[in-house]
Structure 1
Amino acid sequence: MSSLKTLVPPKPIKLYSCVICPWAARTWIALTQANVEFEYIEIDLKNKPEWFLKEVNPGGKVPTLKYGDDIIIESAITTEFVADLFPEAKLIPDDPFLRAQSRLMADRFMEYLVPVYRELYVACNVDAAANVFGAIDKFLPYLKDAKPFFGGSDHLTLAEILIAPFLSRLYMVLESGLVSGETLETLTSDPKYEYFNTWAQNIFATPGLKGTFDKTANLNWMKERLSSLGKL
């Protein structure tokens, strides 16, 4: 849900992130989806600024969230912090059981589909596209009542925010022409996967995704990696 009203945090928020990092994108999506006032600072992960390592996060990881003078790290933690800080954005289900189920859904996505994403996007093993459907088949039982989002929600909640950066990059690779078009054709036309694909497309259309996912930058990163590996 993107509120018409900008949410102003009790203390200033700075998000240190990187446009090609899906882990960092989680918190960026949460802040954007909730329409929070914050400052975005891009960090080049290949050439991390000395000031970032000295003054902000000696570990050099993104996302790093600065809340006032306090530093919060690790993507699931920083994202949940945003959800807790702005309860009016309703990024976490109110019902404890539904909240538990949504976290289980995110965990199962990470278990089943993120390994395929890593093979395609990180390892640049384009043949891994053949593994997409087996992973989706395992995941589907955990995707409950996506009408249009988990649990019948009309907006993104934490589970889908944690999933979305990986899902968007997975589709990006399938749409890129770098892998056989047969996988994408099946995913978007086979009735067996209509529920999953509709849910994914609904995620991609949200303010949180449209405002944060730079498809060109991410695709160029993958093409450069493919080229360096002699696969392009």
Structure 2
Amino acid sequence: MVLIPPKPITLYCCNICPWAARTWIALTQANVEYEYVEIDLKNKPEWFLRDVNPGGKVPTLKYGEDLIIESAVTTEFIADLFPEAGLLPKDAFKLAQSRLMADRFMELIFPIYRKAVFASNLEVIPTIFGEIDKFVPYLINPSPFFGGSDHPILAEILIVPFISRLYLLLESEYSPKEVYTKLSTDPKYKIFNDWSGALMASPGVAKTFDKSLNAKFFAERIVAK
């Protein structure tokens, strides 16, 4: 069932931006009716800077005549606006656990992606296993999604753009082959790998993540350094 918002929604986004992907995934996963507007971050349109967001950031969400910015805020707005989508656990303790899990992911695993792609520090990639070891205790009952949910919840949507891009990086020529092999075959990492695979196969990610465009971005970014 398509969810019709009380006011029209327009998402100003960029395909290769993982931060913007958060809100795009939430809208898609919840099957919300919205308009998508692609913004070229290398050549931001004058009308966007003048009429929508002078800061030039994506995502920017237009709700009726109101504008909402910052990816965590816009994504949580979608979860709050459409409670029937079930993006927020109803149990307060489970909600707190999920938020802690997302925080730990951004603290432990996200820096590996950031350093590898934005600083071209490819030597950091093999250290991912130690960080996954620290993270997994916070990954409560991922069967297939956090807390036994049958669909991704908000906390997972906030981090899956980085998971999908991290796996793309690990499968690329920039990463030692043995890293992806170990992650995908070692029983020790099965919980993390299965959970990540379920997230990447979910409709919100599968319908929004363009591997070819993001691979091109990696090539431009890493080679440029």
TM-score normalised by the chain length of structure 2: 0.98
- Deviation at 1:122? 2.0
Q: What is the aligned partner in structure 1 of residue 126 from structure 2?
A: 130
Q: Does residue 1:41 correspond to 2:34, yes or no? A: no
CA RMSD of aligned residues (A): 0.8
* Distance in structure 2 (CA, Å) of the matches to 1:67 and 1:140: 37
- Deviation at 1:125? 1.9
Which of 77, 94, 97 pairs up with 1:81? 77
Q: What is the aligned partner in structure 2 of residue 10 from structure 1?
A: 6
Q: What is the aligned partner in structure 2 of residue 29 from structure 1?
A: 25
Segments of 4+ in structure 1 off by > 6 A? none
Which of 131, 134, 143 pairs up with 2:139? 143
Which of 195, 198, 204 pairs up with 2:200? 204
- Deviation at 1:55? 0.4
Q: Deviations over 1:98-156 (max 9, x none)?
A: 11111111011000011001012222222211111111111111000001000000001
Which of 73, 78, 101 pairs up with 1:105? 101
Q: Is the 8 A contact 2:117 2:221 kept in 1?
A: no
* Distance in structure 2 (CA, Å) of the matches to 1:164 and 1:228: 26
Q: Does residue 1:185 correspond to 2:189, yes or no? A: no
* Distance in structure 2 (CA, Å) of the matches to 1:121 and 1:106: 21
What residue ranges of structure 2 are gaps of 5+ in the alignment? none
Q: Which moved more, 1:175-184 or 1:150-159?
A: 175-184
The SS at the match of 1:14 is strand
Which of 173, 191, 195 pairs up with 2:191? 195
Q: Is the 8 A contact 2:117 2:222 kept in 1?
A: no
* Distance in structure 1 (CA, Å) of the matches to 2:100 and 2:120: 28
Q: Is the 8 A contact 1:121 1:169 kept in 2?
A: no
Matched to 1:211, the amino acid is K
- Deviation at 1:24? 0.3
Q: What is the aligned partner in structure 1 of residue 62 from structure 2?
A: 66
TM-score normalised by the chain length of structure 1: 0.95
Q: Is the 8 A contact 1:106 1:163 kept in 2?
A: yes
Q: Is the 8 A contact 1:121 1:170 kept in 2?
A: no
Q: Is the 8 A contact 1:27 1:63 kept in 2?
A: yes
* Distance in structure 1 (CA, Å) of the matches to 2:77 and 2:152: 16
Matched to 2:136, the amino acid is L
Q: Is the 8 A contact 2:9 2:64 kept in 1?
A: yes
Q: Does residue 1:214 correspond to 2:210, yes or no? A: yes
The SS at the match of 2:6 is coil
The SS at the match of 2:87 is coil
Q: Deviations over 1:10-67 (max 9, x none)?
A: 1000000111110000000000000100001111111111111110011111100000
Matched to 1:92, the amino acid is L
* Distance in structure 2 (CA, Å) of the matches to 1:220 and 1:210: 18
Identity %: 64
* Distance in structure 1 (CA, Å) of the matches to 2:222 and 2:56: 25
Q: What is the aligned partner in structure 2 of residue 118 from structure 1?
A: 114
Matched to 1:201, the amino acid is G
